[in-house]
């Protein structure tokens, strides 16, 4: 019963959105009312170009487009929206920063704005306004949003959750009702799964999303970290080694081939039933629902990562912030647009359209129905509160981004999980690699 | 040099003293004119950015932030970086193994296709297919063919009773290297084969007939006639094949991103990862620049090495 | 096996020897050929069946059943053709590729002729320099290049690709043509010069007709390379309607970790189909024009 209504709902939502690729009259009305009140008045004749990552789900893309359309109707600012694959966006964002030209706003990923903070427009006023109006930002949003001098240099509009995905039937067969909440039992689960011939597995390849998410969780769960508060590299620590010892045992129970897995592999293996437990966004579930793979959709669920010896959640979720470029000719139009994109009038629809892929970064949206209408989405509601940034204790910047992009943590964990190095050696090597970049 | 002087003797026509006439016959002027289109494009869109790239290698420029001249710092760093050295090793392995196979199979295929047989032209056309499909997309097909759980190759071998569990194509470092090399060979064979086939067609059958009359066996005919006469085209084809393999990027980027644990990282992919994704333009540029001496050596070897053979055979050059 | 086939080539043309030794041919020629062709074509078969599968079938298979399609669907192709800008990408790719190829061939013919036949002062050095042009891969050239492309005001236009692709194409084309030009006897040119022909006339009337096979190989090569080019197309183009096939397919059909397999494979196949047809024509031409082209 429940399932069929959910599916109908998803279908209904997307077909509705299909018709509404342009804003509904109500949304335009709301935008007009909002524009009249807004402290940011776009320049006359302003035109904006915006580049975003290719939407995950059509309904989100359409909700977003409708929102832009309403903004155009209300303010007269024309917006040209292009989209680009998620990984391919980063070079473009870098080029735009480098040559001081290109799109006015890029909806990017991670903390790219911190790589070229001087190329970013100061949007402190917009973010303060939004934070004040909507119950405040989650700490992680503030961490990503603000540059070193405390000015907001990008808008942390959303965080995309990456959590444990599991097959209920296989986990139950392995003797657990649900994913255990601590790492010790989690290991037992993996051992049992392997024994039952339905192993789980996490990506150990250079998978920028899934690989980074779960390896940082493991590292942090045992108290390890790449750098301390003063950006000293401390990855080679007893805590890290303890985490890696854990990985060694866990890794022995992985499904074959995880060493090669990139972001897409676990989706495929999970949908095919070849992998019982993995980490991912909501995309596997969404695909199962969309493709009518009833068995998979009904048999799967999501859970938080188990908590390690440190006793608190140590999760990493991917931020998708909007980067306003200083080179824009129309800074006020950019500010007005960014403010509008987080106003309730349309953010509600945006969250709804995202069907759990994207989570809110402002506290006021915690009660949004998208999180409760399908209980399998509910855990994704809390990702912003539970997430750390990849720099964690240290500062976001070149060193953190480079260490992250160079897969230092992923490689360290993979070396141990595949048995290529001992935990001690792997930690030592990671220390050396990280030090190179933090020396800068 | 013999031909050069010979050719020079042929230009005595420049007696007319009009500027235009002289221009028409002065080989240096003409040479300059003929070079203009290529030079314009290459200087503006290649030499200048190349210079910029080399210069970047000596700076600590980050994406979006101007840097300072740091001398050989980047290179000093790279010398100590085992991931870099691994990528150098991988690049060499990848280039050498793939080039040898591409050459051997390509030449073999060219020779086979050079025969008289039914559907000859159809065969020649379909052999080119791997070269035509956009590499990114064929790499995705391989991605699935090499899948760790559901590889069709594994399944076939299991059905045939040859193996018991799926092969871990991309998860084991050595398997992964072999797998990406096979994909590269797959993509590279058509180019080598078809170009060598073109070369084979220029060899006059009368030479073979004469050799047969002189009692040469098939192997001797191949070794003494086909190979020497094919050498100039082999030189060009293989030099370029080596170059493209050495700087390959798309295939690795789609299939492994350099994994597992950097076992398939090539210098080009590492340079992209560090420069573009990681933002260290200077270091990335240094990695790319570090490819230059290796490439240069590879080119000099294949170019002069193969070319020299031709001179020894009494070729026309220099 | 190799030597057998080579040696037989001359005889094979006569037709007799090849009839005599069919069993031997099977072992030395047809079996190896069949294996190579099978390996070369298998990924295409794979792309083909993946295109025709529903996602459900694609994910549900196990074992050798994967090798067949039980519920073929044209949905992936329909989606690609009618719900994405695919036809547009094909057109863009065609336009860019053809223009860049002709531009490169023009430059390469001039340069190769200059270096190889005019032998002006420093021709060798220039030849080597052109060769060196390959030394930095596009993956590192594209940042400095994009600055220039932007300064020239051709960012996000076809011209950005038409003008930068030749940097990848000219060196190879030039060197290939140099090889062909070199094999043309100097006497031909000398006679023409004595008869009062200009260099341009010699080039267009004598050298080029004799170099058709070389031009075709160079053209095929340049065409394919620009058809497949990825990094420049990715960086210099941002509007969806100006993308090329590889970039468009990858950016439109992969949404982060969800791959539209059917669509991607359909894109790969449909994208190569027109080129494959074009090629089958050229390969024929290429082979026939070859015979006797450079004979004494």
pLDDT digits (tens, 9 = 90+) for C125-167: 887 788 777 666 676 687 778 778 877 888 888 999 999 999 8
Domain ranges of chain C: 2-72, 79-290
Domains along the sequence of chain A with CATH: 2-160+317-387 (3.40.190.10), 163-316+391-438 (3.40.190.10)
Q: Which structure tokens are listed for A220?
A: 């942090």
Rounded CA gap, C50 and C269, in Å? 11
**Whole-number pLDDT of residue B308:** 55
Q: What rounded mean pLDDT belongs to chain A?
A: 89
Q: Cβ A115–B169 below 8 Å, yes or no?
A: no
Cβ-in-10-Å burial (0-12, 13-18, 19+) of C247 comes to: buried
Alpha-helical runs (H) found in B258-280:
267-272
pLDDT at C12: 41
Alpha carbons within 13 A on the beta-carbon side of B309: 17
| Matching CATH number, C79-290, of 3.30.365.10, 3.20.20.70, 3.40.640.10, 1.10.3720.10 | 1.10.3720.10
Cβ atoms of C228 and B137 within 8 Å: the answer is no
Rounded Cα gap, residues A355 and A370, in angstroms: 7
Task: Measure in Å the smallest separation between the Cα of C283 and chain B Cα atoms.
Answer: 6
> pLDDT for A393-432, tens place per residue?
888 888 898 899 889 999 999 999 999 899 999 999 999 9
Q: Are B302 and B238 contacting, i.e. CB atoms less than 8 angstroms apart?
A: yes
> Measured between alpha carbons, how far is A366 from A351 in angstroms, rounded to an integer?
11
B249 found inside a domain: yes
- pLDDT band of residue C1 (cuts 50, 70, 90) is very low
Query: Above 0.85 for ipTM, yes or no?
Result: no
SS3 C107: helix
- Determine the pLDDT at residue B19: 65
Q: What is the mean pLDDT of chain C?
A: 78
User: Residue B174 is part of which domain span?
Assistant: 57-312
Q: Tell me the two tokens of residue C135.
A: 């030394």
Closest CA of chain B from A279, distance in Å: 17
Token pair in block for residue A32: 């007009």
Residue A319: pLDDT band (50, 70, 90) is very high
How do residues A349-374 score in pLDDT, each as one tens digit?
999 999 999 999 999 999 999 999 99
> How confident is the model at residue C61, as a pLDDT?
62
Distances (CA, A) of A183 to A200, A218, A222, A254, A309: 15, 9, 9, 15, 8
Question: A163 — phi, psi (to 5°)?
Answer: -130, 180
Q: What average pLDDT does the segment C181-191 reach?
A: 81
The answer as to whether B15 is a domain residue is: no
Work out the pLDDT band at C203, boundaries 50, 70, 90.
Answer: confident
Strands (DSSP E) along chain B, which ranges? none
Question: Is A46 a residue whose pLDDT tops 70?
Answer: yes
Which residues from B are below 8 Å from A206, CB to CB?
Answer: 256-259, 262, 273
Question: Where is A79: in which H helix or E strand?
Answer: strand A78-84
The rounded distance, in Å, linking the Cα atoms of B26 and A70 is: 69
What digits encode the pLDDT tens for the residues A116-145?
A: 888 899 999 999 999 999 999 999 999 999
Q: How many domains does chain B have?
A: 1
List CB contacts of C125: < 8 A, sequence separation 6 or more: none
Q: Is B300 on the interface with C (CB under 8 A)?
A: no
A415 interfaces chain C, CB cutoff of 8 Å: no
Of C43, C120, C140, the CB nearest to B284: C140
With an 8 Å Cβ cutoff, are C258 and A91 in contact?
no
Assess whether pLDDT exceeds 90 at residue B97.
yes
Percent of chain A whose pLDDT exceeds 70: 95
Question: For residue A73, which of A19, A38, A34, A23 has the smallest C-alpha distance?
Answer: A23
- Residue percentage of chain B with pLDDT more than 70: 87
B289 touches chain C (CB under 8 A): yes
For residue C269, pLDDT over 50 is answered with yes
Which residues from C are below 8 Å from A203, CB to CB? none
% chain B with pLDDT above 90: 14
Q: In whole angstroms, what separates CA A380 from the centre of its chain? A: 10
Answer whether residue B48 is part of any domain.
no
Q: pLDDT value at position A237? A: 95
H or E segment to which residue A386 belongs: helix A383-386
Give the SS3 label for residue C218: helix
Q: Is B115 on the interface with C (CB under 8 A)?
A: yes
pLDDT band at C8 (very low <50, low <70, confident <90, very high): very low
CA distance B91 to B262: 12
Q: What are A80's strand-pairing partners? A: A49
pLDDT tens-digit series, residues B171-214: 889 999 999 999 999 999 988 888 788 778 777 788 888 888 88
CATH number at residue B160: 1.10.3720.10
| Highest-pLDDT range among A14-18, B90-94, C41-45, C166-170 | B90-94
Look at chain B and count its residues: 318
Q: Is residue B83 part of a domain?
A: yes
Q: State residue C62's pLDDT score.
A: 64
CB B62 within 8 A of CB A115: yes
| % of chain C residues with pLDDT over 70 | 84
Question: Residue B7's pLDDT is what?
Answer: 42
Considering only residues B134 and B317, tell me which one the structure prediction assigns the higher pLDDT.
Answer: B134
Whether the bond between C5 and the residue before it is cis, its omega within 30 degrees of 0, is no
H or E segment and range at residue C125: helix C123-132
Q: State the helix-helix crossing angle for B281-312 and C138-151, rounded to 10 degrees.
A: 110
Q: Which of residues 212-231 of B touch C (CB under 8 A)?
A: 212, 217-219, 221-223, 226
Chain B residues inside the 8 Å CB shell of A420: 173, 261
Task: Report if residue B108 sits inside a domain.
Answer: yes
C23 has which bridge partners? none
- Tens of pLDDT along B99-132? 999 999 999 998 888 887 777 777 887 888 888 8
The closest CB to that of A86, out of C56, C238, C256, belongs to C256
DSSP, collapsed to helix, strand or coil, labels residue A389 as: coil
- Residues of chain A with Cβ-Cβ distance to C250 below 8 Å are 85, 88
Number of Cβ within 10 Å of residue B81's Cβ equals 18
* Chains touching B by CB (3 or more pairs below 8 Å): A, C
Collect all residues of chain C within an 8 Å Cβ-Cβ radius of residue B299: 131
Confidence of residue B18 (pLDDT cuts 50, 70, 90): low
pLDDT above 90 for B314: no
What is the predicted pLDDT for the residue at C196?
81
The tokens describing A209, both together, are 């999303």
Q: Residues of A with CB below 8 A from B262's CB?
A: 206, 407, 411
| pLDDT computed for residue C293 by the predictor | 33
* A104 lies within 8 A of chain C by CB: no
What integer pLDDT is reported at residue B123 of this predicted model? 82
pLDDT given at position B24: 64
pLDDT on residue B133: 84
C150/A101 touch (CB, cutoff 8 Å), yes or no: yes
Minimum CA–CA partner of C240 in chain A: A82
pLDDT of residue A185: 95
Question: What is the separation, in whole angstroms, between the first and last Cα of chain A?
Answer: 59
Q: Is residue C260 classed as helix, strand or coil in its secondary structure?
A: coil
Q: Do B257 and A255 touch (CB under 8 A)?
A: no
Residue C102: the pLDDT is 94
Q: 3-state DSSP call for residue A106?
A: strand
Give residue A120's Cα distance to chain centre. Answer: 21
Answer yes or no: are the C-beta atoms of A340 and A322 closer than 8 Å: no
Report whether pLDDT(A11) > 50.
Answer: no
Q: What is the CA radius of gyration of chain A?
A: 22
pLDDT of A1 reads 34
Interface of B with C in 69-88 (CB under 8 A): none
Q: Are strands A358-360 and A155-160 parallel, antiparallel or unpaired?
A: antiparallel
Whether C118 has a pLDDT exceeding 70, the answer reads yes
Q: Do A268 and C59 touch (CB under 8 A)?
A: yes
In this prediction, residue C21 carries a pLDDT of 62
Identify which of A99, A283, A292 has the shortest CB distance to residue C257.
A283
């Amino acid at each position: 019963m429940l399932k069929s209504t959910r599916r109908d709902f998803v279908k209904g939502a997307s077909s509705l959105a299909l018709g509404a690729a342009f804003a509904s009259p109500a949304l335009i009305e709301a935008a007009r009312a909002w524009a009249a009140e807004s402290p940011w008045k776009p320049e006359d004749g302003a035109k904006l170009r915006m580049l975003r990552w290719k939407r995950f789900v059509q309904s989100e893309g359409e909700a977003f487009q409708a929102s832009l359309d309403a903004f155009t109707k209300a303010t007269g600012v024309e917006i040209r929206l292009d989209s680009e694959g998620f990984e391919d966006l980063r070079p473009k964002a870098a080029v735009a920063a480098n040559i001081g030209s290109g799109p006015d706003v890029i909806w990017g990923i991670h903390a790219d704005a911190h790589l070229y903070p001087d190329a970013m427009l100061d949007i402190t006023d917009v973010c303060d306004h939004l934070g004040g109006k909507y119950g405040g930002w989650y700490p992680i949003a503030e961490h990503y949003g603000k540059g070193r001098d405390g000015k907001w240099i990008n808008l942390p509009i959303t965080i995309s959750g990456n959590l444990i995905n599991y097959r209920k039937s296989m986990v139950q067969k392995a003797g657990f009702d649900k994913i255990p909440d601590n790492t010790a039992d989690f290991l037992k689960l993996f051992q049992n799964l392997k024994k039952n011939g339905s192993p789980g597995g996490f990506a150990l390849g250079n998978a920028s999303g899934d690989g980074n998410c779960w390896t940082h969780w493991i590292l942090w769960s045992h108290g390890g970290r790449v750098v301390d508060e003063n950006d000293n590299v401390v990855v080679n620590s007893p805590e890290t080694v303890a985490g890696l010892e854990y990985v060694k045992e866990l890794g022995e129970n992985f499904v074959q081939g995880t060493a090669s897995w990139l972001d897409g592999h676990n989706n495929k293996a999970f949908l095919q039933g070849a992998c019982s437990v993995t980490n991912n966004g909501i995309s596997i579930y969404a695909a199962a629902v969309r493709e009518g793979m009833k068995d998979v959709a009904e048999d799967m669920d999501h859970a938080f990562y188990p908590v390690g010896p440190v006793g608190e959640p140590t999760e990493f979720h991917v931020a998708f912030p909007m980067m306003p470029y200083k080179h824009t000719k129309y800074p006020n139009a950019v500010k007005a647009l960014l403010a509008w994109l987080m106003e309730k009038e349309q953010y509600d629809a945006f969250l709804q359209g995202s069907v759990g892929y994207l989570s809110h970064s402002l506290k006021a949206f915690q009660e949004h129905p998208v999180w409760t209408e399908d209980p399998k989405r509910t855990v994704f509601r809390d990702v912003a509160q539970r997430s750390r940034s990849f720099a964690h204790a240290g500062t976001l910047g070149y060193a953190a981004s480079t260490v992250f992009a160079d897969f230092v943590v992923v490689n360290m964990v993979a070396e141990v999980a595949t048995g290529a190095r001992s935990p001690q050696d792997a930690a030592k090597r990671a220390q050396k690699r990280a030090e190179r970049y933090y020396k800068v | 040099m013999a031909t050069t002087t010979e050719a020079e003797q042929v230009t005595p026509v420049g007696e007319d003293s009009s500027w235009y006439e002289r221009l028409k016959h002065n080989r240096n002027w003409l040479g300059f004119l003929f070079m203009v289109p290529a030079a314009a494009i290459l200087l503006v869109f290649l030499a200048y950015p190349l210079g910029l790239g080399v210069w970047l290698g000596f700076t600590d420029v980050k994406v979006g932030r101007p840097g300072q001249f740091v001398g050989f710092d980047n290179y000093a760093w790279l010398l100590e970086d085992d991931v870099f050295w691994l990528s150098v090793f991988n690049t060499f392995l990848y280039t050498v193994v793939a080039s040898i196979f591409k050459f051997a199979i390509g030449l073999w295929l060219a020779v086979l296709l050079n025969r008289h047989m039914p559907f000859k032209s159809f065969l020649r056309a379909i052999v080119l297919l791997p070269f035509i499909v956009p590499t990114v997309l064929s790499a995705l097909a391989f991605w699935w063919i090499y899948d760790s759980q559901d590889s069709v190759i594994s399944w076939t071998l299991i059905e045939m009773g040859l193996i018991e569990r799926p092969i871990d194509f991309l998860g084991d470092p050595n398997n992964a290297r072999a797998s990406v090399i096979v994909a590269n060979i797959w993509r590279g064979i058509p180019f080598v084969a078809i170009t060598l086939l073109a070369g084979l067609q220029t060899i006059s059958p009368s030479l073979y007939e004469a050799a047969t009359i002189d009692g040469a066996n098939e192997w001797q005919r191949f070794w003494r006639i086909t190979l020497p006469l094919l050498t100039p085209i082999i030189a060009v084809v293989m030099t370029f094949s080596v170059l493209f393999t050495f700087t390959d990027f798309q295939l690795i980027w789609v299939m492994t991103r350099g994994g597992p644990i950097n076992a398939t990282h090539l210098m080009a992919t590492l340079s992209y990862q560090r420069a573009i994704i990681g933002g260290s333009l200077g270091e990335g540029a240094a990695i790319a620049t570090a490819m230059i001496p290796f490439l240069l050596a590879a080119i000099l070897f294949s170019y002069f090495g193969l070319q020299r053979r031709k001179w020894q055979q009494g070729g026309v050059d220099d | 096996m190799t030597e057998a086939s080579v040696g037989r080539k001359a005889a094979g043309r006569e037709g007799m020897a090849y009839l005599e030794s069919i069993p031997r041919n099977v072992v030395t020629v047809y079996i190896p050929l069949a294996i190579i062709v099978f390996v070369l074509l298998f990924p295409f078969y794979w792309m083909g069946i993946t295109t025709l599968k529903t996602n459900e079938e694609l994910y549900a298979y196990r074992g050798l059943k994967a090798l067949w399609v039980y519920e073929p669907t044209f949905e992936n192709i329909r989606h690609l053709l009618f719900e994405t800008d695919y036809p547009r990408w094909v057109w863009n790719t065609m336009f860019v590729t053809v223009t860049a190829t002709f531009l490169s061939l023009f430059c390469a013919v001039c340069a190769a002729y200059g270096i190889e036949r005019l032998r002006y002062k420093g021709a060798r050095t220039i030849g080597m320099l052109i060769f060196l042009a390959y030394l930095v891969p596009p993956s590192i050239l594209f940042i400095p290049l994009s600055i220039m492309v932007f300064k020239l005001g051709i960012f996000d236009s076809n011209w950005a690709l038409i003008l930068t692709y030749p940097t990848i194409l000219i060196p190879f084309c030039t060197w290939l043509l140099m090889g062909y030009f070199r094999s043309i006897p100097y006497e031909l040119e000398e006679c023409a010069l004595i008869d009062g022909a200009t260099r341009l006339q010699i080039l267009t009337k004598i050298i080029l007709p004799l170099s058709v096979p070389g031009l075709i190989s160079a053209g095929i090569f340049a065409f394919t390379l620009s058809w497949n080019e990825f990094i420049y197309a990715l960086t210099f183009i941002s509007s969806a309607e100006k993308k090329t096939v590889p970039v468009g397919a990858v950016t439109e059909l992969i949404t982060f970790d969800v791959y539209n397999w059917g669509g991607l494979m359909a894109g790969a196949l449909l994208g190569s189909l027109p080129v494959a047809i074009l090629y089958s024509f050229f390969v024929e031409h290429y082979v026939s024009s070859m015979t006797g082209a450079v004979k004494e």
